[in-house]
Structure 1
């Protein structure tokens, strides 16, 4: 694969996925977000990233294809502190709009793009809808029926192999993934690899933690850092 990897971010918020991508040399190409305040933030930090607007009005086959699509779809209906109407709820049901866009892009590009999709959401995804919502999420990604585990409960990590995409999921806690240590924040991540069998390597392979960027000072500018004197 030649050239830089590219990324599109759905339900972009304040651009956390684009920020993580940029720190790894991946180029954020476009984002979909409808809230004005987050868009104003990402326009400032990612001036070259296009803003496509409302996901329900987008056609995945008519927007620039990207290697990676990321999305943290709304959690209001599956969160343990939400109304628990489930993955088909008014907000959380927008998950299926992202799946639609991925399918449209793959159809339009002959299955070339995206190569990787990453979904992030709350831990409540494992238990909402009598634990059937996570089954629906996995089945939507794979386009096939994913059986429930014999235990009737979803493990904190797992894989669905043998088809397209190759898929892995994992429950991760932010406090273990940054220095200095962050507050406890558990989230479910799914990696879907449409181009190979790398989902497990991407999600399960140990990697060194990145340091947090310097906090912003007045006016949103990076905080000043003490500079050492040049050697004489």
Structure 2
């Protein structure tokens, strides 16, 4: 056991707490306001305390933890959002998480939390003329961070301040064991031992573990074909890039419209909270009998690397509606990516904790 503890802000359906448990880290509390995700996580983590709306949280009501994970709302940062950036009503909640981290560190003489882990969309690199990601880094480091000479933030980087060590890296889920194209920024801030680099960039031994963990449960990104027991025919799956398809149709762009039809070797497009992906489906040699259908909530769970049925029931044993499941899954984090980071946390900080 590592004896490490975790608190999760903007918890959603509890992916960081699940990754924590998988790596012998104890999730102590979570903050979330959406009703369906709260019902789901209360069922999955009956011993985890739910603190409610983080804007109303005070230091005295939050137990100290070794690490705080958070994935502040992305609506104002996303390239498909309104692009108001961190000044937007939703994404501005990032600063509430920073407030909670600072208050906890001040109250514990800098002992807790040791780590902060933040996840967000790629749009955070470019929103507000690329000033928002600069503000994110400066919030953790408490010192000025210059914009790169290229005026673009790299997909991976490191900045070290006097009291913190910050690394960030883009992880695309299609390379982490699930057939979904989902690129997200993961940032690790270490306030004590300057080991963020080891946590975020140490991939030794991880790929084989990921492949074995999800073998036989998901389609691979190289080939989305599976063998049908009933027909012994190969099943062809062609995911559509619906947002592109609608855009090109509106523009009358025939070439672009055709390009939005995926190939059988393509990963699924990024799952979104506001829509449900569709795909074409047929058996080899029986193309005329094929059809187009939506992903099911179960398939979306698989595309997020989650245990099957993770979002099906709430703590009251009542079924979660499909619309609520789709929304929660589209807003969530891919488990293998969170698992990779927290497994490295357990390796690096677990050894120190048990000395």
| TM-score between both structures, scaled by the size of structure 1 | 0.89
Q: What is residue 54 of structure 1 aligned with on the other side?
A: 53
Cα separation, partners in 2 of 1:150 and 1:28, compared to 1, 3 Å: same
Which of 191, 195, 209 is matched with 2:192 structurally? 195
Moved over 6 A (4+): none
Q: How many residues align?
A: 217
2:309 corresponding residue in structure 1: 216
Q: What are the Cα deviations for residues 181-228 of structure 1, in whole angstroms up to 9, with x where unaligned? A: 3301000011000111100000011141432465239x769xxxxxxx
Aligned position for 2:11: 12
Once residues 63 and 51 of structure 2 are traced to their aligned partners in structure 1, the CA distance between those partners, rounded to angstroms, is: 10
Following TM superposition, by how much is the alpha carbon of 1:144 offset from its aligned partner in structure 2, in angstroms? 1.1
- Secondary structure at the aligned position of 1:87 is classed as helix
Equivalent of residue 203 in structure 2, options 200, 203, 206: 206
> 1:140 and 1:162, CA in 2 relative to 1: closer, same or farther beyond 3 A?
closer
Measured after TM superposition, the shift of residue 115 of structure 1 is 0.3
Gaps of 5+ in 2: 215-305, 318-355
SS at match of 2:117: strand
Q: What's 2:130 paired with? A: 131
CA distance in 1, matches of 2:35, 2:12: 10
Q: Which residue of 1 aligns with 2:236?
A: none
Deviation of 1:61 after TM superposition, in Å, equals: 4.7
User: 2: CA distance between counterparts of 1:3 and 1:198?
Assistant: 17
Q: Provide the C-alpha distance between the structure 2 equivalents of 1:149 and 1:199, rounded to a whole number of angstroms.
A: 20
Question: Matched residues in 2 for 1:25 and 1:161: separation?
Answer: 29
How many Å separate the matches in 2 of 1:162 and 1:146?
A: 9
Asked if 1:66 corresponds to 2:159, the answer is no
Which residue of structure 2 aligns with residue 228 of structure 1? none
Alignment of 1:41-120 (within 5 A): 41-120=40-119
Q: Is the 8 A contact 1:123 1:188 kept in 2?
A: yes
Query: Are positions 1:176 and 2:269 aligned together?
Result: no
Deviation at 1:59, TM superposition (A): 1.7
Q: Distance in 1 between matches of 2:25 and 2:138?
A: 28
Q: CA RMSD in A?
A: 1.7
Higher relative contact order (CA 8 A, sep 6+): 2
Whose Rg is larger?
2
CA distance in 1, matches of 2:24, 2:198: 19
CA distance in 2, matches of 1:143, 1:26: 28
For the 8 Å contact 1:9–1:32, the answer to whether it is kept is: yes
Cα distance in 2 for partners of 1:216, 1:51 equals 22
Measure, in 1, the Cα distance between the counterparts of 2:307 and 2:105.
38
SS in structure 2 opposite 1:13?
Answer: coil
